[in-house]
Structure 1
Amino acid sequence: MTALARIGLAAYRWAGLIGYPLAGVALRARAARGKEDPSRRLERVGYAAAARPHGPLVWLHAASVGEMMAVSALMRELNRADIRVLLTTGTVTSADIAGKRLQNEVIHQFAPVDLCPAVRRFLDYWQPDVAISVESEIWPTTLMELHNRQIPQILVNARLSDRSYARWMRHPALAQALFSKLALVVAQSDMDGERFRDLGAWPVTVSGNIKVDTDAPPCDPAVLTAYERQIGHRKTWAAISTADSEEKIAAMVHRALKASMGQLSIVVPRHPERCDEIEAMMTAQGLTVARRSRNDAITPETDILLGDSIGEMGLYLRLTEIAFVGRSLYQGGGGGNPMEPAVLGCAVLSGPHVENFRESYQRLVRSGGARMVRDAEMLAKGVHFLMNNHLARHKMADAGMETVQQMRGALTATLKALEPYTNPLTVKARLEPRAAAGE
């Protein structure tokens, strides 16, 4: 480690120690804005709210809902290998979904803030055998504490956006000091793998995107049937994972097509807490909005179904065959996951800014399962074309589903890469009960 990197990490650590007394104030402010669960705030400073199970334990951190669901199959495989999983997440939404879908498979806690007292308290209590993070979670204090305790930290489904890679490359000594501490990186693509190697990670292997191996998002069949009955024969399209100005664009598309198509537009924002302002914006344009959270009925006069519920993407995508994936029409958005709509038989449309899912979109576009649009006008034309062309729509959908099948295998590759770390834990877990029984 160079002197410059050592100074930088020391400054980060000392800043955290000095700022730690203010962590409680910051967490209370976030809780007031709905960003934290007030009843579980102490977890964020390392205090445990559950008992540590006996035997080997893997700490798996997934910052958001998408990352958590991407590794749900990995968590199940660890359980099958008799390894207990401590799952940490960083958002209230992800905690809610973990409680509903994974409560019998993992122990869930909120991730500790990256401050020395919180991280040390967390590690002292949980004492994980291995720490696994998902995609691009690099926290300097946590990484250094794990390294000092000789706990391997592994990054799976790892990726680096163009922006993150450029930012790290501006500080190569610091990057080398941190990324070299990773025991293993399992990257999504060859490009991601090369980027991690550039930053000092080793060893690095490539698995593909584990999100492709995730099961199709579920839904309640009774709710689906009720909505299908209410929609009737109306044509539909969906704008999912939208952000910033994309809800306004969805409203523009709806208004442009309404006279000729009479369609229902389904809008699912990435952040449901924004739905009050989104509804106000759409209502001001003369649109009639039904909200899922209110269980509003869809009538012939309903223009927009606003998907403001948590964990129901499977419902919204099953109500349509055309899906525009958001966070993609503005610079720096990074794009959303196109595999969820593709696996459910939707023709996929997206804006051009999809660097977070570059390889997935390249494969889908090449196969004909997705099309890229530049702006609102091009999106409206694309939706209009697909609504009016049954064969073209189904050809895109079939191509998308076939592409998903061809891209599967990342979970198997990830499990294979993890074997040097997980196999000893499985052996330990299976021997310990016998030892306890005196065998």
Structure 2
Amino acid sequence: MMYGLYRIASRVLGPVIAIYLNRRMARGKEDPRRFPERKGIASQSRPPGPLVWLHAASVGEALSLLPLVDRLLARKLGVLMTTGTVSSATLMAERLPAGAIHQFVPVDRVAWIRRFLDHWRPDLVLWAESDFWPNILCEIKARRLPLILVQGRVSPRSLDGWKKAPGFIANILGRFDLCLGQTPGDAERLRVLGGGDCRCVGNLKQAVPPLPCDEVELARLRHGVGDRPLWLAASTHSGEEALVGRVHRHLAERFPRLLTVIVPRHPHRGGEIQSELKALGLSARRRSAGDGVDDGVYIADTMGELGLFYRLAPIVFMGKSLCVEGGQNPFEPARLGAAVLFGPRMSNFPDMVPSMLAAKAAETVADEVALTQAVEKLLAAPEILRDRRAAALGWSEAEAGALDAVIGALRPWLEALDARA
């Protein structure tokens, strides 16, 4: 019944949806040049032959699917990737392999979805994580298309929320032919909520190759940094930048030439962060303004450069883990041999965190004082820092075999397409 009401609402509330989308566009959250794609109007032609449609909500999900895209292209299959955010579209323009097509996912209105499906006619649909749009999933299955959830994710908190609408979520998950959870816990929660064939064969986020970087720019930054002590706070959220500033102020008493780099999760906050740090009496420079590195705090408020700064910094603190709940992906800095620190609020990574801690590939810091002490210890003891970096790299390399397992789970559907390619 709830899905029926949703379907009716998505049809009759067209004017309200249009107002909402126009407001998003005014705030820069929609691309006006490509906005027709959100109405299912394709901006490119469908390639000949079998086509696999992969959908990821935003940047992190899309990045996790790139190794899978490479494998599909190697099989001579057409690949269509959809995402829903401007930032993800920008990143896909840089990172999506040649031969794959990117489009914005259509808004969840039946007429727009049907227009999208009529044009693209996908033969297999791979849906990432938990971006469950009821009308899209219903229309996919109405055409009897194979639909597989990859990187499925349901947090314990989301599980509790979905249990209040059991029929609705069971209706959604029941449309998937296979649900591949990121972790065994995700697979079990998907099963509890109504998924059919639910398994965990590995996490694609741990199969992603190291984040790329501009080697010339890395050399330039290394020359600019010189022998300064350096640490990085990555993917920070509101509240954490001021905390990092206070940690820097304390550490600078012992390490006067200390350079602290902050890469905020949302680069548009760079000016706000700079003002916040200057209010603490700190020197704060912004990369987006063309400022160079120097002693003090350097705000790297640019898109797509985490790979650059993970290579530059020997110590990385992962944001969204002290002041905000959830955490950001600690695998990425470990994959590049950084000593990893994070706060206690890493609920998005319930299996990865214990594995890293057991391997001594990361350390949990309970609060601002503990973060200060942990960074100070690593800066002051090169041998401890060296061992921690080696442990992080060794752990990440041991965890990087998920892609083959996912391809194995997809084999029945892929072999059917291979026969037609």
User: Which interval holds the TM-score relative to the shorter structure?
Assistant: over 0.9
The amino acid of 2:67's aligned partner reads A
Task: Choose from 23, 36, 43 the match for 1:42.
Answer: 36
In 2 relative to 1, CA 282–105 (structure 1 residues): closer, same or farther, beyond 3 Å?
farther
The answer to whether residue 76 in structure 2 is matched with residue 79 in structure 1 is no
Offset at residue 294 of structure 1 (A): 2.6
Structure 1: distance between partners of 2:98 and 2:164: 44
Letter of the structure 2 residue corresponding to residue 384 of structure 1: E
Return 5+ residue gaps in structure 2 as ranges: none
2:148 is matched with: 154
The partner residue of 1:12 within 6, 17, 34 is: 6
Partner of 2:177: 183
Q: Deviations over 1:362-383 (max 9, x none)?
A: 1110011111111111111111
Match of 1:369 among 356, 361, 364: 361
- Tell me, yes or no, if the aligned pair for 1:76 and 1:105 is still in contact at 8 Å: no
- What percentage of aligned pairs have identical amino acids? 39
Partner of 2:267: 272
1:25: how far off?
2.5
The answer (yes or no) to whether the contact 2:70–2:97 under 8 Å persists in 1 is no
Shift of 1:21: 2.9
- Please, which of 383, 387, 392 is the counterpart of residue 384 of structure 2? 392
Q: Distance in 2 between matches of 1:195 and 1:31?
A: 35
Q: Report the Cα distance in structure 2 between the residues aligned to 1:177 and 1:98, rounded to whole angstroms.
A: 31
Letter of the 1:312 counterpart: E
Q: Between Structure 1 and Structure 2, which shows a larger proportion of helix residues?
A: 1
Q: Which runs of structure 2 are paired with 1:292-311 in the superposition (5 Å)?
A: 292-299=287-294, 302-311=295-304
Alignment equivalent of 1:289, drawn from 284, 289, 301: 284
Are residues 1:192 and 2:186 paired?
yes
Task: State the AA in 2 paired with 1:163.
Answer: R
Contact 1:207–1:411 (Cα < 8 Å) also in 2: no
Deviation, structure 1 residue 396: 1.3
The number of residue pairs the alignment matches comes to: 420
**What is the CA distance between 1:10 and its match in structure 2?**
0.7
Shift of residue 94, structure 1, vs aligned partner: 1.0
Deviations 1:252-271 (A, max 9, x none): 11111112113101101111
Moved more, 85-94 or 16-25: 16-25
* Contact 1:268–1:308 under 8 Å retained in 2: yes
| CA distance in structure 1 between the aligned counterparts of 2:290 and 2:415, rounded to whole angstroms | 47
Distance (Å, rounded) in 2 between the aligned partners of 1:19 and 1:421:
37
**Offset of 1:221 from its aligned partner?**
1.1
- Displacement after TM superposition at 1:387 (Å): 0.7
Give the structure 2 partner of residue 404 of structure 1.
Answer: 396
Among 311, 316, 319, the residue aligned to 1:323 = 316
Secondary structure, counterpart of 1:340 in structure 2 = helix
Contact residue 57 and residue 84 of structure 2 kept, 8 A: yes
Question: Paired residue for 1:117?
Answer: 111
Q: Deviations over 1:332-356 (max 9, x none)?
A: x211101111011111110111121
Hey, what's the Cα distance between the residues in 1 that align with 2:50 and 2:42?
Answer: 17
- Quote how far apart the aligned CAs of 1:295 are: 2.6
Gaps of 5+ in 1: 1-6, 430-439
Alignment-mate amino acid for residue 12 of structure 2: I
Measure how far apart 1:28 and its partner are: 2.1
Q: Give, as a single letter, the amino acid of the residue that structure 2 aligns with 1:57.
A: L
Asked if the contact 1:188–1:208 (Cα under 8 Å) also holds between the matched residues in 2, the reply is yes
Query: Residue 22 of structure 1 aligns to which amino acid in structure 2?
Result: V
Cα drift, residue 410 of structure 1: 1.0
